């Protein structure tokens, strides 16, 4: 076997053992493993595997790790580039801090923060639930109590926590606690997860100021909750906006159109309130 084939076979073994791999996906992988062990040509079996996975891959319906593997064997390794999670596990410097926000699908929550000066890392993941090391399928199935969220590691000398909270309000519908835009379900509910009393005070004051501003007819229902363990999501989800640019643009366009209408309504609401006070 060539080094490339050995690496692919190692990926297959890891996927077979991965608890997040679906039963049907695992059956296809095991079929290849047994065929190769019986003397079949690896490339022939790999081509058969690719063909069996293709219909689900075209519908974006493979599990995240299987999707990365599919990109590798179809000549798109850049889409499966390994995201460095070491910063999530490393200790923070005295001038660094972390913020955790949930605001619907985490694919659209990364770029707005990632583009800000002073941001060290933005990591997609799951938090607020009751299951250890949840998978994407478990979270979207609403079996674990987790929400999709982003963990932001930032330099407090450059950007303040209050600035990140203010940006968060601009990215969500704070009057909807059943999801966000087209993303429905408890795993998409908006939450500010606070890590200490200072963050809690800032988040609460910001929420109260938003409620008092009169921008929204409906109550501000975004939750503020104590931070729980943050589990980084599968590699496929990290920096989705960079690796899947066209798909991300379509999702972000829909999100921005919704928020633009909402912001227009807010301006009209404030204008009407000023008119009534005259």
> Strand, coil or helix: what is 218?
coil
Q: Is 105 one of the annotated active-site residues of the chain?
A: yes
Task: Please tell me the distance from the alpha carbon of residue 46 to that of residue 137, in angstroms, as a whole number.
Answer: 25
Nearest to 231 by CA among 111, 100, 114: 100
| H-only helix segments in the chain | 3-17, 23-37, 42-58, 64-73, 86-89, 110-114, 136-140, 161-171, 197-212, 240-243, 245-277
73, 105, 192, 227: the catalytic one is 105
Name the residue with tokens 């909807």: 176
Whole-Å CA distances, 183 to 47, 178, 219, 251: 35, 9, 20, 11
Phi, psi of 121 (to 5 degrees): -160, 145
Beta-carbon contacts of residue 3 (< 8 Å; ≥ 6 apart): none
SS (H, E, C) 224-277: EEECCCCEECCHHHCCHHHHCHHHHHHHHHHHHHHHHHHHHHHHHHHHHHHHHH
Catalytic residue ranges: 105
């Amino acid at each position: 076997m060539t080094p490339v084939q050995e690496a692919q076979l190692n990926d297959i073994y890891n996927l077979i053992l991965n608890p997040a791999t679906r039963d049907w996906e695992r059956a296809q992988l095991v079929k290849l493993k047994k065929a190769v062990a019986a003397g079949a040509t690896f490339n022939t079996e790999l081509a058969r595997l690719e063909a069996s996975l293709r219909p689900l891959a075209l519908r974006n319906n493979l599990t995240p790790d299987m999707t990365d593997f599919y990109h590798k064997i179809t000549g798109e390794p850049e889409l499966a580039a390994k995201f460095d999670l070491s910063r999530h596990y490393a200790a923070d410097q005295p001038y660094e801090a972390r913020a955790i926000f949930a605001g619907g699908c985490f694919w659209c929550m990364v770029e707005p923060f990632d583009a800000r000066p002073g941001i060290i890392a933005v990591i997609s993941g799951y938090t607020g639930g009751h299951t250890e090391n949840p998978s994407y399928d478990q979270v979207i199935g609403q079996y674990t109590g987790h929400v999709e969220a982003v963990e932001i590691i930032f330099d407090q000398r450059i950007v303040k926590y209050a600035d990140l909270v203010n940006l968060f309000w601009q990215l969500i519908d704070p009057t909807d606690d059943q999801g966000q835009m087209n993303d429905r379900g408890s795993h998409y509910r908006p939450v500010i997860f606070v890590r200490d009393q200072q963050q809690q005070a800032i988040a609460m004051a910001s929420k109260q100021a938003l409620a008092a501003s009169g921008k929204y007819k409906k109550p501000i229902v975004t939750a503020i909750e104590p931070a729980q363990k943050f589990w980084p999501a599968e590699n496929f989800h990290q920096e989705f906006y960079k690796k899947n640019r066209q798909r991300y643009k379509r999702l972000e366009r829909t999100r921005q159109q919704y928020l633009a209408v909402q912001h227009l309504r807010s301006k009209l609401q404030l204008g009407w309130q000023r008119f009534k006070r005259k």
